[in-house]
Amino acid sequence: MSLYNMTIDGGETTAASWFDVVNPATGEVFAQAPQCTQDQLDDAIASAARAFVSWGVSDDSVRRAALQGIANALIAAQLELAELVTKEQGKPLMAAAFEVTETARWFSYFAELPLQPETLQDDARGQAVFVRRPLGVVAAITPWNFPLLLLGMKLAPALLAGNTIVLKPSPFTPLSTLAAGRIIAGHLPPGVLNVVSGGDALGAWMTGHPTVRKISFTGSVATGKAVAAAASPDLKRITLELGGNDAAIVLDDADPSRVAAGIFWGAFTNNGQICAGIKRVYVPDRLHDAVVEALAERARRARVGNGMDDGVQLGPINNKPQFERVSSLVADALADGALAAAGGHAMDRPGYFFEPTILHEAREGMRIVDEEQFGPALPVLRYSDLDEAIARANATPYGLSGSVWSSDEERAARVAARLDCGSAYVNTHLVVQPHLPFGGWKWSGIGTENGPWGLDAFCSLQVRYCPRGRS
Ligand code: NAD
């Protein structure tokens, strides 16, 4: 059984107890991760606070060099990290390898992002300069769907700004973060990055700790609300990247087989376990049957299997509770009148495999339409009037992203402009880039990641004003 250590104060730290890590492709335990104690968390946070004293005022060229060194080191460890991601998360090895390069890309991007003071006023009355100062100790908490990419989206801007960090992965996918954390910490002074692992209680200890000045959280809406509540007594800064229920709207001029490819992968990438993936599709009556059939055809053809095997496109669902949730959402929809054009059932094999599923005759009021399914099952809903479809797409507490599919880009862009969400796409979905602001409206989150906006989220903004002609 492989054991993995935490990184606290620059050194490898073991634990008195361990928890099991399951390979979702087999359903079997294949490794154990350390169960961080409250005392060890206190040590990690104290170490981060000590490290902040010098890291927070270090020259930004030092921090940029560290970020670029981290990017290079992650690429050098690509295969080792990708295999861990596949074993604990389930995604195909090629997708895991891509996740590693994407993570490195975030570090490289922030290594170059300007951080210089900006002069806002320089005239006879005075000079105003605007600077970004680091916040202090950051608690970074990640979910299980993209364990490495999501840590990159937090760590890279937090480190550039001069913060120090305690990072906690999901208990379902701790290993790749523990391994990447050791690599990343090796490019930083001791204590600048500490990586701890444990269950949900560990996350709650982190968010309630008085030394922490900022919580950067990615996960579910329910936990996000608990994090916001935990942050409020100390008025800690928060960035919350939460769930989504993205709608795709197909316009009546679309070519069904062309849009089906984009919509299918917009929904089924990472086996549907993606916050900003398509979760509902609105199709006009005229195109309904053709779009359903084109999506179903792709679902039937998708190669599902163990992510370590060649040619696999979709892996298992990551964990048993999520597998049971997706199974029950699909079963409820079928019992409620939806029809499966493809899939509809768990697969008869070990692990947490579910058939890629296309449901039609779905409607609002079904849980799979109203809630975030976060798995390989996509409901298709009919519409007859476009205004009504837009209103239905927006009638959700979520607001992460949405897309419009059409042969007429300008028309689609006018519809996209009416979607209430942080990212509105035309003829595509799932475009998350280091330079593009990413964040959710409504219950999908608070704050923004990526680009200068994501950097500002890890900074205290300070105006330095000096009047002229008074001395
Ligand atoms: P989750 O909320 O259950 O867990 C996320 C993390 O929070 C884990 O590390 C968990 O241990 C920790 N945690 C749990 N309870 C906590 C508490 N009380 N205080 C602090 N931390 C706590 O989410 P999940 O099931 O791991 O991930 C799936 C969810 O994440 C989906 O809803 C998905 O949409 C969302 N997600 C959002 C984004 C985004 O950028 N918007 C990206 C990926 C995933």
- One DSSP character per residue, 152-194 reads HHHHHHHHHHT-EEEEE--TTS-HHHHHHHHHHHTTS-TTSEE
Whether 255 and 215 map to the same domain: the answer is no
pLDDT of residue 238: 98
150-201 pLDDT, tens digit per residue, is: 999 999 999 999 999 999 999 999 999 999 999 999 999 999 999 999 999 9
Distance of alpha carbon 377 from alpha carbon 127, whole angstroms = 57
pLDDT of residue 471: 60
Whether 237 and 254 map to the same domain: the answer is no
Report CA(362)–ligand 1 centroid distance (Å).
27
Overall number of domains in the chain: 2
Whether 231 and 339 map to the same domain: the answer is no
Answer yes or no: is 433 within a domain. Answer: no
Answer yes or no: is 434 within a domain. Answer: no
Whether 43 and 129 map to the same domain: the answer is yes
Answer yes or no: is 183 within a domain. Answer: yes
pLDDT band at 2 (very low <50, low <70, confident <90, very high): low
15-50 pLDDT, tens digit per residue, is: 999 999 999 999 999 999 999 999 999 999 999 999
Whether 87 and 151 map to the same domain: the answer is yes
Whether 385 and 451 map to the same domain: the answer is no
Whether 225 and 261 map to the same domain: the answer is no
The mean pLDDT of 348-375, rounded to a whole number, is: 98
Whether 262 and 371 map to the same domain: the answer is yes
Cβ of 228 closer than 6 Å to ligand 1, yes or no, is no
Whether 196 and 269 map to the same domain: the answer is no
161 with 201: CB under 8 angstroms?
no
- CATH number, residue 417: 3.40.309.10
Answer yes or no: is 431 within a domain. Answer: no
Percentage of residues of the chain with pLDDT beyond 70: 99
pLDDT of residue 469: 76
Q: What is the pTM of this model?
A: 0.97
Please give the C-alpha separations between residue 176 and each of 74, 86, 87, 308, in angstroms, as whole numbers. Answer: 11, 9, 9, 15
270-285 pLDDT, tens digit per residue, is: 999 999 999 999 999 9
Beta bridge partners of 405: 250
Q: In this model, does residue 313 exceed pLDDT 90?
A: yes
Whether 35 and 67 map to the same domain: the answer is yes
Cβ of 174 closer than 6 Å to ligand 1, yes or no, is no
**Catalytic site residues?**
241
397 φ/ψ angles, rounded to the nearest 5 degrees: -75, -10
205-228 pLDDT, tens digit per residue, is: 999 999 999 999 999 999 999 999
Structural domain span for residue 62: 2-242+440-464
pLDDT of residue 470: 63
Answer yes or no: is 435 within a domain. Answer: no
Whether 226 and 313 map to the same domain: the answer is no
Cβ neighbourhood burial of 156 (10 Å; 0-12, 13-18, 19+):
buried
Cβ of 226 closer than 6 Å to ligand 1, yes or no, is yes
Whether 114 and 31 map to the same domain: the answer is yes
53-87 pLDDT, tens digit per residue, is: 999 999 999 999 999 999 999 999 999 999 999 99
Answer yes or no: is 432 within a domain. Answer: no
Ligand 1, residue 144: give the atom nearest the CA.
26
The mean pLDDT of 381-386, rounded to a whole number, is: 98
Answer yes or no: is 470 within a domain. Answer: no
pLDDT of residue 1: 59
Ligand 1, residue 198: give the atom nearest the CA.
11
For atom 42 of ligand 1, which residue has the closest CA?
275
If one residue of 146, 170, 215, 317 were mutated to test the ligand 1 pocket, choosing by the most ligand atoms within 8 A of its CB, it would be 170
Cβ of 209 closer than 6 Å to ligand 1, yes or no, is no
- CATH number, residue 105: 3.40.605.10
Q: Where are the strands (E) in 242-356, listed by range?
A: 246-250, 278-284, 339-342
